[in-house]
Amino acid sequence: MSPVIPLLLVLALGVVGWLVARARARTFRRSDPARRPHSLPGYHAWFVALCAGLPAGLFALVWSGASQGLVMASVLADPAARDLPAFGITRDAILAEARALATGQAEAAFHPLARALVPAFEHALRLYGGVGVTATLVLGFAGGAWAFLRLRPEFTARTQVERIVMGLLLGASLVAILTTFGIVASLLFETFRFFEFVSPLRFLFGTHWAPDPMAAVGPATGEAYGALPLFWGTLYIGAVIAMLVAIPLGLMSAIYLTQYASPALRRWVKPMLEILAGVPTVVYGYFAALTVAPAIRDAAKAIGIASASSESALAAGLVMGIMIIPFVSSMADDSIAAVPQAMRDGSLAMGATRYETIRRVLVPAALPGIVAGVMLAVSRAIGETMIVVMAAGATARLTANPFESMTTVTFQIVAMLTGEGSFDHPATLSAFALGMVLFLVTLALNFIALRVVKRFREAYD
């Protein structure tokens, strides 16, 4: 059942409740001008509108999901459904066809069985749709009436509305948190299925990565799933090379912008720097693959490094470093600017130069904020996909030579999920295990960063 019609009804109920309640609340004032009602008419109106709309609206949303299952169950109970194949793609296709016919989204069906199921579908949809609309209306009307009957001059509508609003805000923040749990849960399930084929220890510490989505699954399958080279490649590109670029450049530009640049220049340069963060990573990927990587290869060949390849960890890392400069610099910028002016004055009044003040007072005082910025940047870098897909290569290799091609966790996730292997093959499932590791590492980095920032905030209070 589509939730659109019940929701529109709920909205209409709310509007009616609002108008009626306001009219009622206004009579309170007129009937007894000496006593001032507790709340303004507007609050009475909102109280009734929210009581009518919220529970009914929530029910309509939940019902639109739950009724799908009920419809399906009643269709399958129909005698015509006995001829359906037991499971698999054909069964799902027939059901989908029958549903499309019943709701008028399709004109004809290929499978005769689908046509046979249409009456059952139509019946069930009508039944549960009707139940949904009726229940929504009853709920909305009951809520509105209950609220309306509570209206008195001394009714604390203002406080009640405040509480409902607080509940709404709480609900909104819970959605984001619950989504995170949902992400973990969905990854977790597939990850466990992967670990049925490959032992976690071998996966985390094995050094040979060569999954073959076409290979038959046997006792030796696990040997091709040692992800250590991927972890190494990810950290080497994202946490070492990229940071060697991003930390000095980001920190120095933050110092320049907060301490030396004139306000006019700062107004120009800071947004320009932040544009870097808005460039789509695929554009960086082109830049890395087409411009930076060949240039690095040629330069390396020219100074006699024969192993230099046209896809290199260095190219990907350099461009990724450029990409995350704004993350480092804006966090550093904020935390340096947050150091009280009194610290700067104190140092300058001792006869310190501007640079001495920056190095000995401002940067140490801002260090927790800077560290937090770097950690957020690292977690961003190791989760970055497009640049490494385009510039780092596909070879899983444990090497410290930045001129060779390397591969990363994110690259392999893309490769495994877009391969031709079936969904329950370990090669495909490995993508989920890799995603899980990535998720946990970035989660840990973000967690540490937040803790560090929290300590920093306490420094001056």
Contact residues toward another protein (CB under 8 A) are 340, 342-353, 356, 360-361, 364-365, 459-460
Nearer to another protein, 177 or 264 (CB): 264
Choose between 7 and 352: whose C-beta lies nearer to another protein.
Answer: 352
Number of neighbouring beta carbons within 10 Å of residue 310: 14
- For another protein, which is the closer residue by CB, 69 or 340? 340
Which of 276, 352 has the CB closer to another protein? 352
Nearest CA among 290, 287, 316 for reference residue 381: 316
Which of 74, 79, 82 lies closest to 99, judged by CA? Answer: 74
* CA angle, 319 then 330 then 389, to 5°: 25
Min. distance of Cβ 377 from another protein in angstroms? 24
| Shortest reach from residue 329's CB to another protein, in Å | 22
> Residue 341 Cβ, how far from another protein at the closest point, in Å?
9
Min separation Cβ 334 and another protein, Å = 17
Smallest separation (angstroms) from another protein to the CB of 352: 5
Closest CB 442 distance from another protein, rounded Å = 30
Of 92 and 345, nearer to another protein (C-beta) is 345
Nearer to another protein, 361 or 375 (CB): 361
Closest CB 248 distance from another protein, rounded Å: 24
> At a CB cut-off of 8 Å and minimum separation 6, what does 236 contact?
313, 317, 400, 402, 406
Query: Which residue number, 171 or 364, has a Cβ lying nearer to another protein?
Result: 364
Phi, psi of 69 (to 5 degrees): -65, -40
Q: What single string gives the DSSP state of each residue in 19-53?
A: HHHHHHHHHHHHH-TTSPPSS-HHHHHHHHHHHHH
Phi-psi sector, 27: left (phi>0), alpha (psi -120 to 50), beta: alpha
CB of 453 to another protein, least distance (A): 15
Instruction: Tell me the C-alpha to C-alpha distance, in Å, between residue 194 and each of 186, 434, 437.
Output: 13, 10, 13
With vertex at residue 260, the alpha carbon angle to CA 251 and CA 331, rounded to the nearest 5 degrees, is 30
Residue closer to another protein (CB basis): 83 or 345: 345
Asked whether the beta carbons of 393 and 405 are under 8 A apart, the reply is yes
Residue pair 394/299 in contact (Cβ under 8 Å)? The answer is: no
- Residue whose CB is less far from another protein, 171 or 340: 340
Encoding tokens for residue 292? 């930076």
Q: How far is the CB of 456 from another protein (least distance, A)?
A: 10
Interhelix angle 409-417/426-457, nearest 10 degrees: 140
